[in-house]
């Protein structure tokens, strides 16, 4: 095989270059994690080979004991991590170690700030991997041979992490991959067998394959087994320490931070499986990308079958990481077969329940952790109220809201908190929907409720209209939108109903209706306003304006719907309108009252130029009054 001619120099994809630069800086204080990452990759490679060998046993037979070997070489200041796993072909090497396949990576990298701590956090969310080798090495050499039944070449990849790498075909007898790190002069500690051994124990003890260490400094040169080499989830809970659970999470997720909590269970009986489920502390950068990888790592009888088996959890639990190891599924199960497997929906139901219970426990016992969780994943969990009927009641208890009670934008109040504060006779839970917290908090619709001391949930997440719709009621109290027609409040003064008030002010209302006939459905006297002149409300069966804006933005055609205008008859501006004798000015004022009501709820004006014109001429008049007076 000609090797010289097969040598190629290639450039890293731009994103890889950026990532490398950022990673070396921001992870420097955690540089030792490179070993965990490389051992983790080696373990994945062994898993993948065992999986392929299910169909092709011959792949394994030349070298059946899957092992990860670490060799340190103090004299040359290098360390090598080798596995006899699946290996990589030339094309695979170029693709896997020259590019980053995850979509959205470029956008993600743009969020980097230059602040080391923040960036380290962000890179953690992205998942550090092979490239972490360059934190400690100034040259990395990868040699690999893809497992195959036919003879094939080996390949060498080499880079200094600066922007380019070379690949060339080589003779390589062994199956699998060796990664050699030529350490920077300052990082010679990582060629010390003692240091490496400690790192393996600390980070990689849970790896299911034997991890052995040999080194020139060792008295005897034979490799020694360093880790426990049993799959962590097969051990009993009482035998696994918190630190081991955390390290295993990092191996699974390539996440850099500790998980918030986990749940490890063995199910026996008709269906047998073990699950180990984790709640991460940070949302991944692509949480909102519906195509992003998600799901659990699936094993069948300890044999790795697939990554990202998304069939085991509903979409709204896409942030959960973990392993499920089934004793019943066939070893040859594929994604397609999984979809059709009758066992699966029962397992999915049980696992979803398990996650919801784990969150419930966290919410009860570690409120600070739950608050963190809610900040990161609350909006996703809300999808469950809409999607998962079986767990809806438990999910409702897990929801957290901003409310008028606390007066701050943090979503930290539960429905139980709200209900606990309800006055006697309040049989409803009031909420307002808006595009953002500030608009919700300052909405005119809240005035009378505030006056009466009634708490209102301030909802401004995109998903909220669906959540309140899906929930409909909680603890026997129905959820009520305060921006709807016909709002009835507890202890209402029944003698002054809207009908009576409307009757009393009929001439004004009719006049305003006439002027605004194209823009509103009706005009009423408001019973809900205190300090604002007017507000718009949606008819009882109309779409909420926030939802309408969202649907329209997503390109949906909706039938026109006109709002109802409510005026505060005691407000000076409405009194002024009522007293206005000049019909031109009356029209202008009526339009402005409506425009302001729309702006206050965060709506766009259909004709902003007309509004500005009206306002301008009013202001000029004001000025001429002042001038003449």
Positions that interact with ligand ADP (CB under 6 A) = 41-42, 45, 83, 85-88, 96-97, 127, 129-131, 177, 254
Whole-angstrom Cα distance, residue 248 to residue 264? 12
Nearer to ligand ADP, 69 or 528 (CB): 69
Compute the least distance from the CB of residue 65 to ligand ADP, in Å: 17
Q: Which is nearer to ligand ADP, 97 or 512 (CB)?
A: 97
CB of 255 to ligand ADP, least distance (A): 11
- How far is 431 from 474, CA to CA, in rounded Å? 13
Q: Which of 87, 80, 81 is nearest to 39 (CA)?
A: 81
Minimum CB separation of residue 440 from ligand ADP in Å reads 40
Q: Using DSSP bridges, classify how beta strands 176-183 and 211-215 pair: parallel, antiparallel or unpaired.
A: unpaired
**Which residue, 254 or 294, is less far from ligand ADP as judged by CB?**
254
**Count of residues in the chain:** 629
Rounded to a whole number, what is the largest CA-CA distance in the chain?
A: 106
Residue in the structure block whose two tokens are 């930290």: 412
Q: Between 42 and 70, whose beta carbon lies closer to ligand ADP?
A: 42
Q: Taking the complex as a whole, how short is the minimal distance between the CB of residue 538 and ligand ADP, in angstroms? A: 48
Nearer to ligand ADP, 86 or 323 (CB): 86
CA 462 to chain centre: 14
Give, in order, the Cα–Cα distances in Å from 147 to each of 86, 169, 586: 5, 15, 85
Of the pair 102, 405, the CB lying nearest ligand ADP is at 102
Q: What share of the chain is helix, strand, coil (3-state, %, to 5)?
A: 45, 20, 35
| Residue 6: count of CB within 10 angstroms of its CB | 15
Closest CB 152 distance from ligand ADP, rounded Å:
15
**How are strands ordered across the β-sheet holding 303-309?**
261-267, 273-279, 321-326, 296-300, 303-309
CB distance 478 to 472 below 8 Å: yes
Strand partners for 182: 78, 139
Residue 157 or 190: the one with the smaller Cβ distance to ligand ADP is 157
Minimum CB distance to ligand ADP, residue 66 (Å): 12
Of 177 and 448, nearer to ligand ADP (C-beta) is: 177
The DSSP call for residue 258 is P
Q: Whose Cβ is closer to ligand ADP: residue 145's or residue 528's?
A: 145
Nearest approach in angstroms of CB 128 to ligand ADP is: 8
By C-beta, is 254 or 571 nearer to ligand ADP?
A: 254
Non-local (6+) Cβ contacts of 191 within 8 A are 72, 73, 74, 76, 77, 78, 79, 183, 215
Instruction: Give the other-Cβ count within 10 Å of 7's Cβ.
Output: 14
Contact yes or no for 466/386 (Cβ under 8 A): yes
C-alpha distance across the termini of the chain, in Å: 102
CB of 102 to ligand ADP, least distance (A): 9
| Residues linked to residue 214 through DSSP beta bridges, in sequence order | 71
Nearer to ligand ADP, 259 or 444 (CB): 259
From the CB of 157, what's the least distance to ligand ADP, in Å? 10
CB of 604 to ligand ADP, least distance (A): 44
User: Helix (H, G, I), strand (E, B), or coil: what is residue 164?
Assistant: strand
CB of 322 to ligand ADP, least distance (A): 16
Smaller CB distance to ligand ADP: residue 296 or 358?
296
Min. distance of Cβ 231 from ligand ADP in angstroms? 18
Kindly state the smallest distance separating residue 50's Cβ from ligand ADP, in Å: 13
Quick check: 323 and 296 in contact, CB under 8 A? yes
Cα 279 to Cα 234, 235, 241, 355, 398: the distances in Å are 20, 20, 17, 9, 15
Q: Is 74 exposed, middle or buried (0-12, 13-18, 19+ CB in 10 A)?
A: middle
Minimum distance from residue 224 beta carbon to ligand ADP (Å): 21
Nearer to ligand ADP, 86 or 598 (CB): 86
- Do the strands 321-326 and 296-300 form a parallel or antiparallel pair, or are they unpaired? parallel
Closest residue to ligand ADP, judged by C-beta, is: 129
Q: How far apart are CA 536 and CA 485, in angstroms?
A: 9
The phi, psi pair for 562, rounded to 5°, reads -100, 140
d(CA 386, CA 379): 12
Name which of 254 and 354 has its Cβ closer to ligand ADP: 254
- Cβ proximity to ligand ADP: between 97 and 534 the closer is 97
d(CA 9, CA 11): 7
Residue 11 corresponds to which tokens in the numbers above?
């450039």
Q: How far is the CB of 14 from ligand ADP (least distance, A)?
A: 16
Q: Are 413 and 378 in contact (CB under 8 A)?
A: no
**Complex with ligand ADP: residue 15 or 343, whichever CB lies closer:** 15
Q: Cβ contacts of residue 256 below 8 Å, gap of 6+?
A: 27, 30, 33, 120, 121, 123, 124, 125, 127, 128, 250
Question: Distance between CA 199 and CA 191 in Å, rounded?
Answer: 12
Give me the least distance between CB of 100 and ligand ADP, in Å please: 8
CA quadruple 284, 285, 288, 291: dihedral positive or negative? negative
């Amino acid at each position: 095989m000609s090797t010289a001619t097969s040598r190629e120099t290639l450039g890293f994809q731009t994103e890889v270059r950026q990532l490398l630069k950022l990673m070396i800086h921001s992870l420097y204080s955690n540089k030792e994690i490179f070993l965990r990452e490389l051992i983790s990759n080696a373990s994945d490679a062994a898993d993948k080979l065992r999986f392929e060998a299910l169909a092709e046993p011959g792949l394994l037979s030349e070298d059946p004991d899957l092992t990860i070997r670490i060799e340190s070489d103090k004299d040359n200041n290098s360390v090598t991590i080798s596995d006899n796993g699946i290996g990589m072909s030339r094309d695979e090497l170029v693709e896997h170690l020259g590019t980053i396949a995850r979509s959205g990576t470029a956008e993600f990298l743009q969020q980097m700030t230059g602040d080391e701590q923040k960036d380290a956090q962000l890179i953690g969310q992205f998942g550090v991997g092979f490239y972490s080798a360059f934190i400690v090495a100034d040259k990395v050499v990868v040699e690999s041979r893809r497992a195959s039944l036919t003879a094939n070449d080996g390949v060498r990849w080499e880079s200094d992490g600066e922007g380019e790498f070379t690949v060339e075909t080589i003779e390589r007898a062994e199956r699998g991959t060796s990664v050699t790190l030529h350490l920077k002069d300052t990082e010679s500690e990582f060629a010390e067998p003692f240091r490496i051994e400690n790192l393996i124990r600390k980070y990689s003890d849970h790896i299911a394959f034997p991890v052995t260490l040999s080194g020139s400094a060792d008295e005897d040169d034979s490799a020694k087994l360093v880790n426990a080499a049993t799959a962590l989830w097969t051990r009993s809970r009482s035998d696994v320490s918190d630190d081991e659970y955390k390290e295993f999470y990092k191996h699974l997720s390539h996440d850099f931070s500790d998980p918030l909590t986990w749940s490890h269970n063995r199910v026996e009986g008709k269906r047998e499986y073990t699950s180990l489920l984790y709640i991460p502390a940070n949302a991944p950068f692509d949480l909102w990308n519906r195509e992003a990888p998600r799901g659990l790592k699936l094993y069948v009888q300890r044999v790795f079958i697939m990554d990202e088996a998304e069939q085991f959890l509903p979409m709204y639990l896409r942030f959960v990481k973990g392993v499920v190891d089934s004793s019943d599924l066939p070893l040859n199960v594929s994604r397609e077969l999984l979809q059709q497997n009758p066992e699966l929906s029962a397992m999915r139901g049980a696992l979803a329940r398990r996650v919801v219970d784990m969150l419930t426990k966290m919410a009860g016992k570690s409120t600070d952790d739950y608050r963190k969780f809610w900040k990161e994943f609350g909006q996703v969990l809300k999808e469950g109220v809409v999607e998962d009927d079986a767990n809806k009641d438990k999910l409702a208890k897990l929801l957290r809201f901003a409310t008028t009670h606390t007066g701050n934008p943090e979503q930290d109040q539960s429905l139980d908190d709200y209900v606990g504060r309800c006055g006697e006779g309040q049989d409803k839970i009031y909420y307002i929907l808006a595009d953002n917290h500030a608009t919700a908090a300052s909405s005119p619709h809240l005035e009378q409720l505030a006056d009466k001391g009634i708490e209102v949930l301030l909802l401004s997440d995109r998903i909220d209209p669906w959540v309140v719709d899906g929930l409909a009621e909680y603890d026997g109290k129905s959820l009520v939108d305060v921006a709807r027609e016909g709002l009835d409040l507890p202890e209402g003064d029944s003698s002054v109903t809207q009908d009576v008030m409307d009757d009393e002010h009929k001439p004004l209302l009719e006049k305003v209706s006439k002027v605004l006939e194209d823009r509103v459905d009706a005009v009423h006297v408001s019973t809900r306003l205190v300090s604002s002149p007017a507000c718009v409300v949606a008819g009882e069966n109309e779409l909420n304006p926030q939802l309408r804006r969202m649907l329209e933005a997503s390109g949906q055609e909706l039938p026109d719907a006109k709002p109802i205008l409510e005026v505060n008859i005691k407000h000076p501006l409405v009194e002024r309108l009522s007293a206005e004798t000049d019909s031109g000015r009356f029209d202008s004022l009526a339009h402005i009252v409506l425009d302001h009501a729309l702006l206050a709820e965060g709506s766009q004006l259909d004709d902003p130029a007309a509004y500005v014109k009206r306002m301008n001429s009013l202001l000029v008049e004001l000025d001429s009054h002042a001038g003449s007076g």
